[in-house]
A and B are shown apart, each in its own frame.
Chain A
Amino acid sequence: MRPEFGSLTEHVVEFGRRLRAAGVLCGPAEVADALRALQAVDVVDREAFRLALRSTLPHRREDLRVFDALFEPYWMGRATRQQPQDARDAPSQAQAEPLAGAPSVQRWAQGAEDGEQEVPGYSPLEILGRKDFSTFREDELDAIARLVVAIARRIATRWSRRRRRARRSHALDMRRTLRLHLRWGGAFPELAFQRRRVRKHRIVLLCDVSGSMDVYSRFLIQFVYALQGAVGRVESFVFSTSLTRVTRELRTPSLRGALDRLSRSVPNWSGGTKIGASLRQFLDRYGGLLDRRTVVLIVSDGWDTGEVDVLRRAMHEIRARAARVIWLNPLLGSPGYQPLTRGMQAALPYVDVFASAHNADSLRELEHALGKRLRAG
Chain B
Amino acid sequence: MGDVEARPTLGDVEAILAALAHEGYIADREIATAIYLSIELHKPLLVEGAAGVGKTEIAKVMARALGTDLIRLQCYEGLDVHTALYEWNYQKQMLRIRLEEGSGRSPEEKEQTIFSEPFLLRRPLLQAITHPRAPVLLIDEVDRVDEEFEAFLLEVLSDWQITIPEIGTIRAQHVPYVVLTSNRTRELSDALRRRCLYLWIDYPTFEKELAIVLRKVPGVSRRLAEQIAAFLHAARALDLQKVPGVAETLDWSAALIRLHRDHLDREAVERTLGCLFKHHEDQRVAKGPWLDRALAVIAEAQRDGQALEASLDRLERLAKG
Contact = CB atoms under 8 A, between A and B. Distances in A.
B194 A160 contact: no
A41 interface: yes
Given A33-B41, A55-B37, A160 B147 contact: yes
| Most-contacted residue by chain B among A47, A160, A178, A183 (CB, 10 A) | A178
Nearest to B43: A33
B4 to A, nearest CB: 13
Interface in B192-250: 193-194, 196-200, 241
A58 B198 contact: yes
B262 interface: no
B77 A229 contact: no
B190 A112 contact: yes
A363 to B, nearest CB: 21
Interface in B261-307: 281
B97 interface: yes
Interface string B157-184: 0000000001000000000000000001
A112 B191 CA distance: 11
Nearest to A112: B190
Given A229-B147, A232-B77, A285-B281, A52 B107 contact: no
Contacts of B46: 59
Interface string A161-197: 0001000000000110011011101001000000001
| Most-contacted residue by chain A among B41, B148, B185 (CB, 10 A) | B41
B13 interface: yes
Nearest to A63: B198
A372 interface: no
A54 B33 CA distance: 9
Contacts of B196: 59
- Size class of the A contact interface (CB-based, 8 Å): 35 or more
B89 to A, nearest CB: 10
A70 interface: no
B110 A182 contact: yes
Contacts of B69: none
Nearest to A47: B29
Interface string B15-35: 000000000000001100110
Contact of B186 (A29, A197, A229, A245): A229
B187 interface: yes
A336 interface: no
Contact of A55 (B184, B193, B197, B241): B197
A130 interface: no
B185 A59 contact: no
B311 to A, nearest CB: 26
Interface in A49-95: 51-52, 54-56, 58-61, 63-64
A281 to B, nearest CB: 11
A248 B50 CA distance: 12
Contacts of A197: 78
A253 interface: yes
Contacts of A185: 101
A228 B186 CA distance: 8
B11 to A, nearest CB: 11
A56 B197 CA distance: 5
A37 B41 contact: yes
A197 B196 CA distance: 30
B77 A40 contact: no
Contacts of B281: 285
Interface string B90-119: 100110010001000001001100110000
Nearest to B191: A113
Contact of A52 (B33, B43, B193, B200): B33
Interface string A247-279: 010010100000000000000000000000000
Contact of B41 (A36, A51, A179): A36
B151 to A, nearest CB: 11
A92 B240 CA distance: 52
| Most-contacted residue by chain B among A52, A182, A285 (CB, 10 A) | A182
Given A175-B88, A229-B186, A55 B93 contact: no
A364 interface: no
22 contacts: A36-B41, A40-B40, A41-B33, A48-B29, A51-B29, A51-B30, A52-B37, A55-B34, A55-B197, A55-B198, A56-B41, A58-B198, A63-B198, A175-B115, A175-B166, A179-B111, A182-B111, A185-B101, A229-B146, A229-B147, A232-B77, A248-B241
Interface of A: 25, 27, 29-30, 33, 36-37, 40-42, 47-48, 51-52, 54-56, 58-61, 63-64, 112-113, 160, 164, 174-175, 178-179, 181-183, 185, 188, 197, 199-200, 228-229, 232-233, 245, 248, 251, 253, 285
Interface of B: 12-13, 29-30, 33-34, 36-38, 40-41, 43, 46, 48, 77-78, 88, 90, 93-94, 97, 101, 107, 110-111, 114-115, 146-148, 166, 184-187, 190, 193-194, 196-200, 241, 281
Given A25-B193, A59-B198, A251-B184, 12 more contacts: A25-B190, A33-B43, A41-B33, A51-B13, A54-B30, A59-B194, A59-B196, A160-B146, A160-B147, A175-B88, A178-B93, A185-B101
